[in-house]
A and B are shown apart, each in its own frame.
Chain A
């Protein structure tokens, strides 16, 4: 508490410090292009290393950075599907510097050539470092929740954060951290809370079926998290203290190394988690105290990366350790339930564009992970002590070729070998092994009237069960000269049963289902229209996207007529639309983005037609307002979660709720570097609602942060 008060006093003192004197500012005008084709790269983020200044390239690949201090300036350039690029330039007082930034494609296009359309700011599907930092989020789930169409199923602060997209199940969203899938092999779900927010430098959300590019489980969408190259500074040290006993310490250090740079980062976050809350009246009401909600995460990462002569490489090792209590629902608290996770990831990638029109590359990874769940005295049922160990290796080889006429061909193969040993499975002594392989081919052509045609086909061979799946993704995109662009796409995707679905340990009232099939979205249509322009200064963009893609055989756990529960395949109808808008002014330093999402995910069963699937809000929305000045930074994030049903019928509807977070930070130049002091308030109006019934939220909480970057 004393530290907390000291920090508050320091914050009060610092806001009275006068601004540092500024020199006559310099300006950078840059053009970002694809080194293969020479075409402009839209939506690339260019960051001035060591400052919060960023700019996003427009449809012509152009951007401007104003108000730069004279001297050496290092630019960090990132775009979805391209290797990271760093360039150092020298600015003198006054003049404008012009620079060409050539990006090496990773052949990891977000969506073939359509990537640049999807990743536009209007879609707000991509968040880079500064946008992420402006949210002052404590968890990756909080960051991702600002993306249209994405919903986080959380069990409370410090608890699980499972993303779902456009009404999908949690196990139908593939999450890759630096190219490594983190979906749990038992449940199929990815828990974003296992990835520390401080470690994330970019987040890309690809909504809709993406199996044609990413294979299994990319049915509802894909989330790509990058932890490398935050580019904040050569060295940084951060500290945060907050409500619920939150303590955060993280740091990073970067240095030149042979062929590139070496980056080290790490940190820890601890949360006591206890708070008083109201028990829902549906559960009898009253007030009680949340216990066993503590959590602790530790993360560390070392990465060696570089780019030269059209070659980009990256080699890294990262680890996460998580320990937390699982407090359960408010009406049935688990006072002794615990979860522990240890994970080590080794990753490497190499991309090479030898000139002309060719590019080849690949990435590989190895992961070892141990997950434990235990409760010696659960509120219901027998004590348990479960342990799951996992080891996996995987990788991808890819190549691309483009012709002067605009034809582009990409091809790739990927494979993953997974070995799991778990006490949760029927045969806990024998590891379950599976090898999945896939191959894809993509073609695109563009040039005529700004129209791009693209198509990707993919074949997957699943090792368990041994089956083949075929997916496709065909698209037509048009980019007009007036800032208007449009696209239409048709896709198919799949999500196979999880090991838990297939091999769980049978017990009283539960049975496995050996006949379980993969979920399939055989036909998904996507139509999008976007517009962006500079309106006398501010860049404004609006994007509307509609989709329809029914799910055949969604895997759900259901009781049969004997009330014995098993995983079953059931059809679900799904369609919806999202509207996203953004306005930002580089000169004024402000950025406003908002979205409204409408999703209809309904049962395809007699008597339940038009009934929304449980915990799928029909409407949701969000608004992020951010302002960055020379020394001050402020932002507010508002999220609206619409009414939803907790049961598969049109009764017991939970009302809509909204939350608002606010952040204020100030940067001060010191001899050691930039010192930023921040104040962040979660749920500023003290709303305690949550998406899922009886997982209480503490309401308003406060966090103070200090960050020194030099």
Chain B
């Protein structure tokens, strides 16, 4: 009996190895497959994703995420995208390789699902601003784990260095009730490690720079020109820098490999801030204006360090502008209606 047991364990081990190697293989590029980078733009009015090949942006595909919702954020990892659906308490899991919705995972009622980041290949952390919690979502299984209490009105999540930073706007009735905070979670155990107190109001988004620092953009009060940028050191989980002058309601941020911080805002256009010298390259008096409108709803940087700025047309198909070194639009990519966020992923296809 013991022999049979050992044989069984051996077979199980072998099978596990074979199975796991197969899983890994699936995420690697097979000899007959080629990887290509795609841009993924989430558009809110038509509740959709627009996919385009960064090397051939004329190749555009649209994926509907569902009949309802107000998605404004996304996270990509491998060939998956996770898109919180806003007023619909759910997160859409999209297979970017197949260009189809893999499933829609329900979140707690009244979630207001906004803000997401992958903690690992299978777990996405989704912020629930109306519930002041974050819910872990297994995108492979379509299940959720117990929600974790964070600060008030979490709007975004960034994962870096084994930790997840939940961006808390600290709003009550949609108005700032105090300065912003970051709730720090252990990305493996999902336990709360602490809170980072920020100096600005209404934190909206964050990005990690090449220096390993966290850049948090804060929208301020709606109607006031008081957008700010906080810099957080993940090694100490403390705010080490606070910069003003980011204008009216900035809401998106991305950092390129050179340390240029790109800040998009509805009332400011695209601002460029040099994190090395801590000064504006293109400030409020000289913002990057794409599409003739001084407004940028989202910004992203692809693996080739090319910058993309989203024009917030909310009633017609909008445009993602790819910028050249002079921050002029070198390429216009038609996307869905009311784009809010852009991400990039490598997907494989048969060569």
- Residue numbers of A with Cβ under 8 A of B are 279-286, 329, 331-333, 379-382, 508-509, 558-563, 568, 570, 605-608, 646-654, 693-694
Rounded to whole Å, the gap between the CB of B141 and the closest CB of chain A is 14
Interface string of B79-91 (1 = CB under 8 A from A): 0000001011110
Whole-angstrom CA separation of A286 from B109 in the bound complex? 12
In the bound complex, do residue A561 and residue B312 qualify as a contact, i.e. CB atoms below 8 Å apart? yes
14 A–B pairs (Cβ distance < 8 Å), ordered by A: A283-B66, A329-B68, A332-B89, A380-B87, A381-B174, A382-B173, A508-B222, A561-B312, A562-B312, A563-B312, A646-B67, A647-B64, A650-B62, A693-B68
In the bound complex, do residue A648 and residue B46 qualify as a contact, i.e. CB atoms below 8 Å apart? yes
B-chain residues with CB within 8 Å of residue A648 when the two chains form the complex: 45-46, 315, 337
In the bound complex, do residue A652 and residue B64 qualify as a contact, i.e. CB atoms below 8 Å apart? yes
B-chain residues with CB within 8 Å of residue A568 when the two chains form the complex: 315
Q: A286-B106, A509-B222, A562-B249 are in contact. Are A651 and B64 (CB under 8 A)?
A: yes
A-chain residues with CB within 8 Å of residue B222 when the two chains form the complex: 508-509
Q: Pick from B68, B109, B173, B311: contact of A646, CB below 8 A.
A: B68
Interface string of B238-266 (1 = CB under 8 A from A): 00000000000100000000000000001
Tell me what chain A mostly uses at the interface: helix, strand, loop, or mixed.
Answer: loop
In the bound complex, do residue B314 and residue A652 qualify as a contact, i.e. CB atoms below 8 Å apart? no
Instruction: Find residues 299-317 in chain B having any chain A CB closer than 8 Å to their own CB.
Output: 311-317
Instruction: Find residues 35-64 in chain B having any chain A CB closer than 8 Å to their own CB.
Output: 45-48, 62-64
Whole-angstrom CA separation of A652 from B71 in the bound complex? 14
Instruction: Find residues 256-306 in chain B having any chain A CB closer than 8 Å to their own CB.
Output: 266-267, 293, 295, 297
Q: A284-B90, A380-B130, A558-B314 are in contact. Are A647 and B45 (CB under 8 A)?
A: yes
B105 contacts partner chain A, Cβ-Cβ < 8 Å: yes
Instruction: Find residues 9-38 in chain B having any chain A CB closer than 8 Å to their own CB.
Output: none
In the bound complex, do residue A647 and residue B46 qualify as a contact, i.e. CB atoms below 8 Å apart? yes
Whole-angstrom CA separation of A111 from B125 in the bound complex? 62
In the bound complex, do residue A282 and residue B266 qualify as a contact, i.e. CB atoms below 8 Å apart? no
Q: A285-B106, A379-B110, A561-B295 are in contact. Are A651 and B68 (CB under 8 A)?
A: no
Q: A561-B314, A647-B48 are in contact. List 18 more A-B contacts (CB 8 A).
A: A279-B106, A282-B68, A282-B69, A283-B69, A283-B88, A284-B106, A331-B89, A331-B109, A379-B110, A380-B130, A561-B313, A563-B312, A605-B315, A646-B67, A647-B337, A651-B47, A652-B66, A693-B67
Whole-angstrom CA separation of A65 from B109 in the bound complex? 60
B-chain residues with CB within 8 Å of residue A381 when the two chains form the complex: 174
Whole-angstrom CA separation of A64 from B297 in the bound complex? 70
B-chain residues with CB within 8 Å of residue A286 when the two chains form the complex: 106
Whole-angstrom CA separation of A19 from B72 in the bound complex? 68
In the bound complex, do residue A282 and residue B89 qualify as a contact, i.e. CB atoms below 8 Å apart? no
A-chain residues with CB within 8 Å of residue B106 when the two chains form the complex: 279, 283-286
Q: Which residue of B lies closest to A650 (CB)?
A: B62
Q: Which residue of A lies closest to B296 (CB)?
A: A561
B-chain residues with CB within 8 Å of residue A282 when the two chains form the complex: 65-69, 88, 90, 104
Whole-angstrom CA separation of A607 from B62 in the bound complex? 14
Rounded to whole Å, the gap between the CB of B307 and the closest CB of chain A is 19
Most chain A beta-carbon neighbours within 10 Å: one of B109, B112, B267, B314: B314
Most chain A beta-carbon neighbours within 10 Å: one of B175, B222, B337: B337
Interface string of B309-328 (1 = CB under 8 A from A): 00111111100000000000
